[in-house]
Structure formats: structure tokens, C-alpha cells
């Protein structure tokens, strides 16, 4: 079976590698495949002598199992015989193609781009002959779009003139016949198609009952293959027909019936038709490999069991094809049997993850084709995709509800009526626990078409109800527009201007009149951080939202999570929709204090309060898709009051009356909508309007006026009070609710400058204080973050990891990519080093140069720009104070608020205390400047500045220089780090390849071990007796290949294989091990701390000290003994005693090369070899000597920092190097402060800095007395 594909790929004598026999000459040479008793000798063979018995299963007798299938087919018995046919990579032809001639004559006009793209694809799949023939089909479309008469020179329209020229070129072109002889220069077919021809020639198409199916990627390839086969004389016995997938259901049924009746004996089918009930065939060829387990199960369903042959075409040395074959080899027997016994009523017995395609499909269809749009990802769902999606939904239901059986999830058919003597089928999908549990489609001419209709209708219902998990939808691979590198900025050195990705989350929603809204509950009642009680709110959208994580808010720096709960759809009428619109505008204006409005038709979402007694229900474990109904819990009374009026007067009088009225109220000092608002602190029954509180502050200092006199003197409309003995309210101004979105927000102390209001001249908002709308602002900001990050990602990553990976520190969020960047940088160095080590057999110096070209900052930036990644980087603070919801616009009239305020009463202009500075500034200029600065999130061309120098910023322990100098490659490396944490090394490798790093020779991790070429035992030295056992005892690891250890311990001066290549690999392995472990040890470590720890752990001096400490190198560690004795005497941990030792570099190289040898020994698996050595040897040494508390800073760095803080700029290090002794002097303002001498320059510099620090400690006033840099 397919397990034999897990063998080696290349041909290699005497090893466990594929032994591939050529399939004969171009004119044939393949034995018959029609004989059911023998397998085809022309396919790929295995030398199975050295393979395990579990792998040698290709010739086992087929299982004898009988089952029924569609009428007219034979009885299936056993699995079909499967064979892999390998073909050579397609080489580019040097012949003049029709593509080039048309492009030259039409000047690459845009009209011909689709035809040229199709021709290029055909050329790669079938060859130059088929590529030229494809233009014959295009000629029909070109001529239909031409004017009735005229030459190319007489036509004025450019497009028409180009079409005329293309028509003339095609008609005058000499089309050549297919040349299958690979030994001639004129061979014009691809090696892949040549293999197909050889397979077909080996068949006996004239035998009664023979049917063959060739599955290709799309209809374009199918039509070109049809033209090519018809042009080959040796294949005239095949009666071919194309099944492209875009035909009408009636046409498809006619083709399938004709194929079953053997009117056609060879069907060239697109992969879009896999789910159709195609009659079983004796030969099934996968010209394009199956893209998933479901796709290959369909291959089984089209075969006649043991009476048929399945051929899989795969390209030699193609890592993607190899990966596909290896994945297919893991297909379960249950899934194979489902395909073999294919019954249209049974869902496949597989998980939702196993039903996912191996590779995201290419984008098919166009704007005019019928499709559904998944609202979260924007992925399109065509009718051809609906069946697979329903299968995955059914599998997910089984995973959530284990009690569901295969009988509960099923597909039923019935005949509704007859049309022209043919039955019309209606299909019903039974999915218990999902909405009503039954979904039916329109009647169709066949069961397969009826199944598609029912599945498509079910998908529409699930999307409409908001129950579709976005992870179940496969992203269609779009052809990304290649972007060019922006020029460097003239003002901001080293930065470039990039256009930001505009949020498209709300743009995909439906707008206009609606009766159905989808609630998402903001459970603000769970907030307990600031001691206040908040009521639950709901966000109502026209389309269902995805399942969102909890919203994080901050109170005094402490995070508090607000859960978000999806609720069942609800129906609203026009009046209720109008109330929701007005209430949402009120809530927005209360949040932002801006005069903006939005019509009902254009409002993206509505906000509404729930009754205070509402509590979140417990989830139904058996039916997780059943959402709670909140339609009856909406507080319509509050909505009606808020929609009619903005503010109402406060009650005044006794303390009891005022206390009852201000409970749960937001107080304001005037009736106007845009004014200051206050939280009441307490009632002051001891004060009246005639009082003058002692702690009262007014502009200019204390006031001698009473509260009443102050209001009378500062208001032009005040007419007096009815009650001069009413109590007073002490208030505190409401903080900006957006501040709770930032972890750095610290509330100001209450009552620092107490303010007092007279109830009779005060008002309260109609929106209660518990219905705080800043949560809706937060959720909108979160939507913006999500919509900017979803894009067209190559892999599914959780938003909690993806968002930090693309967010720069300059944004100011509580997360950014700095920590992930360190991990991603180590992983990128790690994987690129492995790749260079495996692919290039050169020496260490050459390997360094090649790796630099792969992962340099300039290279990463170029590839990131090429695939359009900078547009998703969040490097710009969104300026929440300027936040504006979708489609909200400023009103035309300044005094018109767009909401019914007819009953608001007269607005008191000046019955409030003036601004704190005593004046009312003219803010018109500032408002105009703010409008010019930023409009809102929906700016049509938002831009940001991103920097080039990534490694230079993050390889040194320093912060980003400016808020707009984002780390472009750092974000990219942060993305790698995100993938490593999420899916391990395999996902990290996939993302690195998807993001453009050229690792073309590998597609999965096992390719490294397969392609590695290691030195043999003959070219390595022999270890001394006892050396192997000694090293294994020290490292804690048993070396399975001692000759690799011998190479790791051999110096480069030796004539045999030395350790330089293993040291190059081990250096990257060590970096990754160190970063990974310190990253996991403490999440509170800052990026700077991680950088310092990593630099200390991988330095040459540390590794050399480790080598001596562990006795890998025999030595007399005098400094070590002295430090240990001193540490024991002082009662502390040992420090870094190796700073003053000139360590030979080979000592550090030995540690890295031993790690590299263990890594290669374990077939590039870090868990078995290097991890063992790290835990047994390196980690104990690091734990004993290196920590942030005991880590000694380099004295030179301390000296420079001390002088810099003092403001001195006159420090220099004078070096006088002789042949043997290095003399370094530290000079400050012409005075020598320290001298150091040593044979090693770094040690001499260190000694000079230590001496200078001691001199400054003894003379503390030296810099103050001598330095004049600050005064200068």
C-alpha cells in the first residue's frame, strides 16, 4: 500500500532508496496494465530488501470485501492496485512560443493576461505544443470581441487593435504536432504528459468494459489535454470527454451517463468534480496529486476495487509531492474503506482536521459565480466546496458530541417528481444539534447534484446564523500583487513609507434595511476592579460575528477581562431599529464627545443595554451551537428614554430626593450634549448654594463668593433658584473611558481639587452610569486589530499569538513582538544554518556567507515587501481619542446633532465653573489641526514609516530610537517566533517558506536528514581509547555514530575531517536552545534581559569556561578555584571568573561542535541529542554562574554609561599596541584615569576601564570639577 512511499526518494545503490525504472522509450515500452493479475512493471519500484517488514506491503493480497455501488458498475472486491509514476522536472523550452509572439505584438495588453496565464500553466503541465494549441481556443473569444471589419491599422480603439493583431498572429502561426521523442530537440510535450501517454499506451482501450479517468487540476488543463490526445495518432482508440465542473447539472449528468454507457472511455475530469457520482473505472490516473484524504478517498470511490489500477504521477526530487505522498501514506483504513464502499448517504469517518486539504486551493470562480462569503476571513464558498465543508462541520459535531453516531449524521434522498421521464432528486442533510438539524436543497437531476444543492443551502444557513467556525474554511490562495520597494525617506533616515492595510472587517458586512440582528453580549457585569457595578451590553450586527476572546481592560494598571458571549439571532421591526440607531449615536457621543452621526442603513453595529438582572447562562455541553436568547432581556425603556432626550434635569431638594435621583447617574453641568461630565462622589447636606466650601478651588485661587454668587456672575441665562436651601453634590470629573484600554493608565487621585454642583442647575445623562459604552469602543478597536491581521495568512494562528507578532512596541499596547522577535531570530538562524549545512558541502566561511544572504536584514525586508507583509504591521498608535466607528460622519450643521432633541429644553451656556486656568481658549485652530492630522480609522490612504535596520536595533540591548521607526524584519522574525510557539518546528518551517525565504530543497523537516551528506568513517580520525566513554559521561548522551564525535573533536589544522562544519551547525543549535529555554523560564523577562542572558550564555569565554569546567578539555582552572573559594567565603553564588582569562576559541568551538555532532546523529532532531546535553551539561553550569542578579556588566560599558550620565563627552580610549603587549589608557579631558596592559586587547581594555572606575570612585568630584561639556 501507500506506506512504501515513506522510503527514500533518490536512487542510491545499496541503500533504502527508491529504485525507479524508466518507463521505456518515448514510443512506448510499457507493459499492459489491463491484466488484473499482475501489477504494472512500468511504475516506480522499491528495493525492499533492506526495508522493515511493516513497509513491504505493496504485494500483499487485497482484502476480499464486496459492496454495492451505483448501477451498471461491477462488484467491488478489495482495494485497487496503486502505483507511483515518477517523471522528470519540466525544462524550459528554448523554442519560440506563441506566447512570446503575441506578447510582443500586443505589447502585453491587459486583455490577454488571462489567456497568457492559462497558456503558461498549460506549458508547465503539458508542454509547448499544448500551450500553443490553447491559443486556438482563445481565438474564438478574440474574434467574437472584434469589430465586423477593418484592419489593425484602421481601428482607433487600442484594445480592438491589439485583438486584431493577436488574431493575425494566431492565424498565421504554424502549429506543430506533438513530438513525443525525448531524444530530439523538437520534443514539445512535458515529461509529465509523456508518462501519461505511456500509461495509456499500456492499456487496452478496445477491451469491453474499459473506462479510464484522468483527474487534472482545472478545466483549462483538461481542455488542453483533450486537444493534445486527439492530436496523437497512437491514442485514437481513446474516446475522450472533458468534465470541467462549470457545466450545467443537466450537461454533467449527460456526460456521466455517456461515460457509464461507454460512449466515452476516457474522462478527463477537473478536481472540482471529485464529489460527483462518476461511474467506476478500471483505470484512475491522478495527473495532479490528491489534495487531502477526502480527495484520495474519492479516488478509491471511482475505482473498481482490485479489478482496477490507480496511478499517481509525482515529480522527481519535488519536495512538495513527496510530502503529499507521505501524508497520503498515513490515511486511515476506515477512510479508504469509506471511499471504496462509497455510499452517498454516509459521511466520511474522519476528524475535521483530517478533512482539511493539504495545500490551500487556488482561487477559483469570479465575481459572477455563485458563492457564499465567510464573514470573518472573507473566504469564498462555492457550490463545489459546500460538500467538503459540510463533511467537516459534521466531523466537528462528532468531536463536540461523542454520543453522536454515524447514523445520526447522514444524508437522505428522495425522488420529488419526474422531468422528461427522468427522476428529480431532493437531498436532506441531517446534522443533529445544528439549528433545526435538517437542511434541504432544491431538486436536481442526480443525487450528487442534489447533495451539492443541499450542502450549499446548509452552508448558507450556518453562515447566516453565525455558527460556522472560520477554521473549517480553507483559504483560497490568491495571487498577491508584487509590491516594489518604496524609496528611503529624505527626512527620516533609514525609513520607508508603506501604505497600511485598510481594515476590511466591516466592509464585508451587509448594509441596508434588515429585520434580523446577531447579538454579542459584553458581560460588563463581571467587572469588579474599580468597585463599581456595570450592566451587560450587547453589540448587534447585521451579520454574525466570530467567537471572540475576552476583552481586556485596565483599572489602576490591573487587567480585568470582560467575556464576550454570542447570542441567538433576534428579529426587530423598523421602530426598534430606529431606537437602536439613536441610542448607539448617544452612546458614541457620550464616549467621544464628538458631533458625529450615522444613518440606520449605514450603521455597522448597534449597541443596546440588557436588564441589570441578566446573567450569562451555562453552555450546553451536548449542543454547543445553541446560543442563549437575549431578545426579551433588552432594556427597551432605557433605550426609548435615551433616544428621545440627551439629558434631563436633576431633582433637587432634600438629601434623600437627590440621592435617589443621582444613583447610577452621570451628572453634567449643563443640558448641552457636548460638555463636561461628572461622577458624584457624595452628597453634602451640610452645604447649601449660599455656602463657600473651604477646599473649593476656582481659577485664580480661592474664592470669596458663595456657590450661588459664582453661578450668577458667570452665567448670562441664570434667573435664580427656587430652593436656596437644597443640598450640594460633590463631584469628580469622569475620566476618559478610552484610558481603560491602556495598561499604563493611572487614575488621578479623587477629590484633589473638589468640585461642587447645585442640583437645580445640573443635569443627568439619560444613559445610566452602569451602561458604560467604552466597552463597545474597545470591541471596535479589537475588530480593527483582527481585521488588519487576518489578511491571507498562509497558516492558521491564534489571534492571541498573531497580533503580538505584527505589533511594534511603538504602538503602546500591552503586547508587542520584541520577545517573539528574539525567539524568531534564533529559530531563523537555526533553520537557515541547517539548510546551508545540508545543501552546501563547503567550509565554514562559505557557509557563513550563504547564510548571511538568506537571512540578512536587507534580504528579509526585500522578501517581506515582495509578498506585501508591511501593510499588516501595526506600527502606528491608533489614536483612540480620534476613534470613529464605520460610516460615522460629521454633521452638516454645527448645532444639529442628528438625533431628536426637540424636548431637550433650553441649553444653559454658562452655568458652570470655567476652565481650570480661568479662561476659555479658542480651540478652533486646534480642532482644524486635529482634523488634518487624522480623520479616523477609515482613512483611504493610511501610511506608516518602517525602518530597514532591524538586526542593528535588536541585536543590541537598546530601545527603538523613535516611535515611528518600526522594526520591519523584527516583525517578520516575531512572526516566526509566533509560529514556533504555536505549531513547533514544522509550522515554523512552513511559514518561513511561505514568507519567501528561499529554502527550495526542503518542504518538511525530514528532508534535512534525507539530503544530508556526512563524512564517512574513513576520513575521520580514530578516538583514543576511553575518549568516547569519557565524553558520553560528561555530556550524558550516548553517541550512536562515534565517528561524528571524532570529527567534532578534531581541530581544523588536522588533515582529516575537522569540526568546523559541525561547529557552524552547533552554534545555531546552541543559540536556539538558550533562547528557547530562557524564553520559557520566565515570561516576565523583558527583551533586554533576554538579550543580556543570551549574550552571556553563548559567548566564547563562557563556553571555554564550560569546556574546562566539565573537563572536556584538561586544564588547571586556577581562576575557577579562586572564584569558588571567594564565593564560598562571602556566602554568594560564583560569578563570571572567566572575564580576565584569554580563552582560546577552540575550547568554545568544541562545545558547539559536540552539540552539532549529537544533532546530526539524531537525524536533526533537537529533542533527543542536544536537549539531553543541554539539560545534563549546560543548564547546571548556567544555573550556577549566570543570572540577572549575579551577571556582571562589562566595566567598559559601566564606565561609558557613568560618564554619559554626568554629561561628559570628552572620554576616549588610547590604544598603543606593540608586537606582544597591548597598552590601553582611559583619558578624560586630557587626564589619564586608568591604564591596562595585557597580551589580549580585550583584557587590556577591561583592566583600563576597571582602573578608571576605581579612580572615579576615589575622586567623586572629578567630573563635576573638570568637565565643562554641559556648560559648553
Evaluate whether 834 touches 1164 at the Cβ level (below 8 Å): yes
Distance CA 1151, CA 1155 (A): 6
| Spatial separation of the C-alpha atoms in residues 946 and 857, rounded to whole Å | 13
Buried b (16+ CB within 10 A) or exposed e, 933-963: eeebbbeeebebbbbbbbbebbeeeeebeee
- Among 927, 932, 835, 937, smallest CA distance to 885 is for 937
Q: Are 313 and 277 in contact (CB under 8 A)?
A: no
> CA 956, CA 933: separation in Å to the nearest integer?
34
In angstroms, the CA 273 to CA 562 distance is 47
Q: Do residues 1031 and 1112 lie in contact, with contact meaning Cβ atoms separated by under 8 Å?
A: yes
> What is the torsion angle, in degrees rounded to the nearest 10, for the CA atoms of residue 1236, residue 1238, residue 1243 and residue 1248?
0
Tell me the CA distances in angstroms from 1196 to 955, 1096, 1225, one per residue in order: 19, 16, 12
Cβ atoms of 281 and 212 within 8 Å: the answer is: yes
Q: Name the residue with cell 490591573.
A: 558
Per the residue annotation, which of 543, 844, 967, 1067 is the catalytic one?
Answer: 1067
Task: Tell me, yes or no, if 49 is annotated catalytic.
Answer: no
Q: Could you write out the DSSP letters of every residue in 1070-1083?
A: HHHHHHHHHHHH-T
Which 3 state secondary structure label does DSSP give 382? coil
893-to-324, 578, 582, 595, 897 alpha-carbon distances in Å: 64, 21, 18, 10, 8
d(CA 21, CA 41): 8
Cell of 325: 505522498
Handedness of CA 298, 301, 306, 311 (dihedral sign): negative
Pinpoint the alpha helices (H) of 401-490. 447-465
Active-site residue, from 253, 633, 661, 1152: 1152
Task: Tell me how long the chain is.
Answer: 1272
733: three-class secondary structure by DSSP: strand
598, 623, 663, 669 from 879: Cα distances, Å: 21, 42, 33, 28
Name the nearest CA neighbour of 216 among 313, 115, 88, 127: 313
Residue closest to 438 by CA, chosen among 425, 427, 449: 427
Distances, alpha carbon 614 to alpha carbons 98, 308, 470, 532, in Å = 71, 64, 29, 17
1119, 1144, 1230 from 1236: Cα distances, Å: 19, 21, 17
Nearest-angstrom CA–CA distance, 1047 and 548: 54
Tell me whether residue 1152 is one of the annotated catalytic residues: yes
Strand locations in 581-702 (E): 596-597, 605-609, 647-649, 667-668, 677-684
First-to-last C-alpha distance (Å) of the chain = 84
1195 within 8 A of 1246, measured Cβ to Cβ: yes
Task: Count other C-beta atoms under 10 Å from residue 388's C-beta.
Answer: 22
All residues at 6 or more sequence positions from 157 whose CB lies less than 8 Å from its CB, including other chains = none
DSSP string, 1024-1042: PTTHHHHHHHHHS---S-H
Which parts of 145-211 fold into alpha helices (H)?
158-172, 191-201
Would you name the residues annotated as active-site residues?
1067, 1152
Amino acid at each position: 500500500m501507500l506506506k512504501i512511499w515513506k522510503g527514500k526518494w533518490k536512487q542510491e545503490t545499496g541503500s533504502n532508496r527508491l529504485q525507479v525504472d524508466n518507463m521505456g522509450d518515448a514510443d512506448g515500452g510499457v507493459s499492459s496494465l489491463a491484466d488484473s493479475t499482475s501489477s504494472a512493471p512500468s511504475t516506480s519500484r522499491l528495493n525492499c530488501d533492506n526495508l522493515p517488514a511493516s513497509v513491504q506491503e505493496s504485494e500483499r493480497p487485497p482484502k476480499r470485501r464486496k459492496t454495492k455501488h451505483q448501477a451498471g458498475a461491477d462488484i467491488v472486491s478489495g482495494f485497487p492496485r496503486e502505483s507511483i509514476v515518477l517523471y522528470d522536472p519540466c525544462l524550459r523550452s528554448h523554442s519560440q512560443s506563441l506566447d512570446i509572439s503575441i506578447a510582443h505584438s500586443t505589447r502585453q495588453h491587459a486583455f490577454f493576461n488571462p489567456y497568457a496565464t492559462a497558456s503558461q500553466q498549460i506549458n508547465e503541465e503539458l508542454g509547448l505544443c499544448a500551450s500553443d494549441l490553447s491559443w486556438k481556443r482563445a481565438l474564438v473569444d478574440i474574434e467574437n470581441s472584434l469589430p465586423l471589419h477593418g484592419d489593425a491599422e484602421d481601428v482607433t480603439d487600442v484594445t480592438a487593435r491589439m485583438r486584431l493583431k493577436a488574431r493575425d498572429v494566431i492565424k498565421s502561426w504554424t502549429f506543430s504536432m506533438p513530438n513525443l521523442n525525448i531524444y530530439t530537440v523538437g520534443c514539445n510535450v512535458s515529461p509529465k504528459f509523456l508518462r501519461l501517454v505511456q500509461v495509456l499506451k499500456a492499456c487496452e482501450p478496445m477491451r469491453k468494459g474499459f473506462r479510464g479517468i484522468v483527474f487534472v487540476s482545472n478545466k483549462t488543463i483538461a481542455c488542453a489535454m483533450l486537444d493534445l490526445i486527439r492530436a496523437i495518432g497512437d491514442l485514437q482508440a481513446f474516446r475522450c470527454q472533458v468534465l470541467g465542473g462549470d457545466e450545467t447539472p443537466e450537461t454533467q449528468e449527460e456526460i456521466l451517463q455517456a461515460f457509464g454507457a461507454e460512449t466515452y472511455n476516457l474522462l478527463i475530469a477537473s478536481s472540482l468534480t471529485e464529489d460527483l457520482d462518476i461511474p467506476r473505472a478500471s483505470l484512475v490516473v491522478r495527473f495532479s496529486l490528491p489534495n487531502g484524504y477526502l480527495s484520495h478517498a474519492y479516488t478509491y470511490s471511482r475505482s473498481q476495487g482490485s479489478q482496477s489500477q490507480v496511478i499517481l504521477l509525482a515529480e522527481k526530487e519535488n519536495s512538495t509531492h513527496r510530502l503529499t505522498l507521505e501524508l497520503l501514506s498515513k490515511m486511515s483504513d476506515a477512510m479508504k474503506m469509506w471511499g471504496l464502499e462509497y455510499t452517498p448517504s454516509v459521511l466520511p469517518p474522519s476528524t475535521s482536521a483530517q478533512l482539511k486539504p493539504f495545500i490551500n486551493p487556488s482561487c477559483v470562480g469570479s465575481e459572477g459565480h455563485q458563492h457564499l462569503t465567510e464573514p470573518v476571513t472573507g473566504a469564498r464558498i462555492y457550490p463545489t466546496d459546500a460538500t467538503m465543508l459540510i463533511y467537516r462541520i459534521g466531523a466537528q459535531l462528532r468531536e463536540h458530541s461523542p454520543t453522536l453516531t454515524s447514523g445520526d449524521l447522514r444524508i437522505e434522498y428522495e425522488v420529488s417528481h419526474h422531468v422528461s421521464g427522468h427522476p428529480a432528486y431532493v437531498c436532506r442533510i441531517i446534522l443533529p444539534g445544528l439549528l433545526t438539524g435538517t437542511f434541504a436543497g432544491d431538486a436536481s437531476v442526480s443525487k450528487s447534484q442534489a447533495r451539492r444543492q443541499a450542502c450549499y443551502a446548509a452552508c448558507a444557513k450556518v453562515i447566516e446564523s453565525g455558527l460556522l467556525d472560520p477554521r473549517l474554511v480553507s483559504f483560497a490562495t490568491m495571487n498577491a500583487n508584487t509590491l516594489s520597494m518604496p524609496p528611503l525617506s529624505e527626512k527620516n533616515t533609514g525609513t520607508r513609507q508603506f501604505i497600511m492595510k485598510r481594515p476590511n472587517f466591516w466592509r464585508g458586512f451587509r448594509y441596508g434595511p434588515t429585520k434580523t440582528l446577531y447579538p454579542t453580549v459584553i458581560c460588563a457585569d463581571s467587572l469588579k476592579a474599580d468597585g463599581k457595578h456595570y450592566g451587560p451590553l450587547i453589540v448587534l450586527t447585521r451579520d454574525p460575528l466570530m467567537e471572540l476572546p475576552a476583552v481586556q481592560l485596565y483599572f489602576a494598571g490591573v487587567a480585568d477581562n470582560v467575556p464576550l458571549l454570542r447570542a441567538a439571532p433576534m428579529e426587530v421591526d423598523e421602530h426598534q431599529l430606529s431606537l437602536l440607531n439613536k441610542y448607539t449615536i448617544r452612546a458614541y457621543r457620550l464616549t467621544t464627545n464628538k458631533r458625529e452621526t450615522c444613518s440606520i442603513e449605514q450603521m455597522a453595529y448597534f449597541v443596546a443595554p440588557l436588564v441589570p438582572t441578566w446573567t450569562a447562562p451555562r453552555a450546553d455541553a451536548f449542543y454547543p451551537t445553541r446560543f442563549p436568547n437575549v431578545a426579551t432581556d433588552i432594556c427597551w425603556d432605557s433605550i426609548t428614554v435615551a433616544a428621545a432626550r440627551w439629558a434631563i434635569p436633576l431633582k433637587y431638594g432634600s438629601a434623600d430626593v437627590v440621592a435617589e435621583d443621582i444613583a447610577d447617574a452621570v451628572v453634567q453641568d449643563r443640558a448641552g450634549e457636548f460638555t463636561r461630565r461628572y461622577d458624584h462622589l457624595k452628597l453634602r447636606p451640610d452645604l447649601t448654594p449660599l455656602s463657600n466650601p473651604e477646599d473649593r478651588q476656582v481659577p485664580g485661587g480661592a474664592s470669596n463668593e458663595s456657590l450661588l454668587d459664582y453661578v450668577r456672575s458667570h452665567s448670562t441665562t441664570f434667573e435664580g433658584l427656587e430652593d436656596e436651601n437644597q443640598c450640594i453634590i460633590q463631584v469628580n470629573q469622569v475620566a476618559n473611558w478610552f484610558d481603560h484600554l491602556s495598561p499604563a493608565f493611572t487614575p488621578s487621585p479623587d477629590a484633589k481639587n473638589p468640585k461642587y454642583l447645585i442640583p437645580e442647575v445640573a443635569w443627568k445623562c439619560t444613559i445610566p452610569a452602569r451602561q458604560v459604552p467604552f466597552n463597545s469602543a474597545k470591541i471596535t478597536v479589537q475588530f480593527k486589530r483582527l481585521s488588519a491581521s487576518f489578511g491571507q495568512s498562509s497558516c492558521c494562528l491564534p489571534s492571541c499569538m498573531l497580533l503580538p507578532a505584527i505589533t511594534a512596541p511603538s504602538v503602546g499596547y500591552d503586547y508587542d513582538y520584541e520577545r517573539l522577535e528574539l525567539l524568531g531570530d534564533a529559530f531563523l538562524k537555526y533553520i537557515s544554518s541547517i539548510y546551508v549545512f545540508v545543501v552546501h558541502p563547503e567550509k565554514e566561511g562559505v557557509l557563513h556567507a550563504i547564510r548571511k544572504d538568506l537571512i540578512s536584514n536587507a534580504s528579509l525586508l526585500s522578501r517581506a515587501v515582495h509578498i506585501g507583509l508591511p501593510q499588516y504591521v501595526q506600527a502606528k498608535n491608533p489614536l483612540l481619542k480620534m476613534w470613529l466607528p464605520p460610516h460615522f460622519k460629521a454633521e452638516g450643521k454645527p448645532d444639529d446633532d442628528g438625533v431628536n432633541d426637540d424636548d431637550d429644553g433650553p441649553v444653559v451656556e454658562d452655568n458652570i465653573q470655567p476652565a481650570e486656568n480661568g479662561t476659555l481658549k479658542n480651540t478652533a485652530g486646534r480642532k482644524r489641526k486635529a482634523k488634518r492630522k487624522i480623520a479616523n480609522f477609515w482613512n483611504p490612504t493610511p501610511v506608516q514609516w518602517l525602518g530597514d535596520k532591524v538586526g542593528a536595533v535588536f541585536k543590541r540591548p537598546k530601545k527603538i530610537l523613535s516611535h515611528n521607526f518600526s522594526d520591519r524584519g523584527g516583525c517578520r522574525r516575531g512572526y516566526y517566533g509566533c509560529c514556533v510557539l504555536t505549531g513547533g518546528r514544522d509550522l515554523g518551517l512552513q511559514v518561513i517558506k511561505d514568507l519567501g525565504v528561499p529554502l527550495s530543497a526542503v518542504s518538511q523537516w525530514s528532508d534535512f536528514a534525507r539530503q544530508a551528506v556526512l563524512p564517512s568513517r574513513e576520513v575521520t580520525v580514530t578516538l583514543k581509547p576511553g575518549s568516547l566513554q569519557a565524553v558520553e559521561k560528561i555530556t550524558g548522551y550516548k553517541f550512536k555514530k562515534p565517528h561524528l564525535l571524532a570529527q567534532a573533536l578534531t581541530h581544523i589544522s588536522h588533515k582529516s575531517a575537522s569540526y568546523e562544519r559541525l561547529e557552524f551547525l552547533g552554534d545555531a543549535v546552541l543559540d536556539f536552545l538558550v533562547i528557547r529555554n530562557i524564553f520559557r523560564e520566565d515570561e516576565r523577562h523583558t527583551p533586554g534581559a533576554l538579550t543580556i542572558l543570551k549574550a552571556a550564555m553563548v559567548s566564547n569565554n563562557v563556553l571555554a569556561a564550560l569546556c574546562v569546567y566539565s573537563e572536556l578539555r584538561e586544564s588547571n582552572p586556577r581562576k575557577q578555584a579562586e572564584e569558588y573559594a571567594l564565593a564560598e567565603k562571602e556566602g554568594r553564588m560564583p560569578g563570571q571568573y572567566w572575564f580576565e582569562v584569554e580563552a582560546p576559541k577552540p575550547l568554545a568551538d568544541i562545545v558547539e561542535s559536540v552539540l552539532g555532532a549529537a544533532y546530526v546523529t539524531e537525524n536533526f532532531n533537537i529533542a533527543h541529542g542536544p536537549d539531553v546535553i543541554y539539560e545534563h551539561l549546560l543548564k547546571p553550569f548556567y544555573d550556577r554562574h549566570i543570572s540577572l542578579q549575579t551577571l556582571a556588566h562589562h566595566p567598559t560599558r559601566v564606565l561609558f554609561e557613568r560618564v554619559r550620565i554626568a554629561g561628559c563627552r570628552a572620554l576616549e580610549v588610547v590604544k598603543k599596541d606593540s608586537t606582544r603587549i597591548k597598552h590601553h589608557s582611559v583619558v578624560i579631558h586630557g587626564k589619564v584615569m586608568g591604564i591596562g596592559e595585557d597580551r589580549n586587547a580585550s583584557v587590556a581594555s577591561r583592566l583600563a576601564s576597571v582602573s578608571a572606575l576605581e579612580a572615579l570612585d576615589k575622586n567623586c568630584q572629578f567630573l563635576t570639577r573638570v568637565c565643562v561639556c554641559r556648560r559648553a
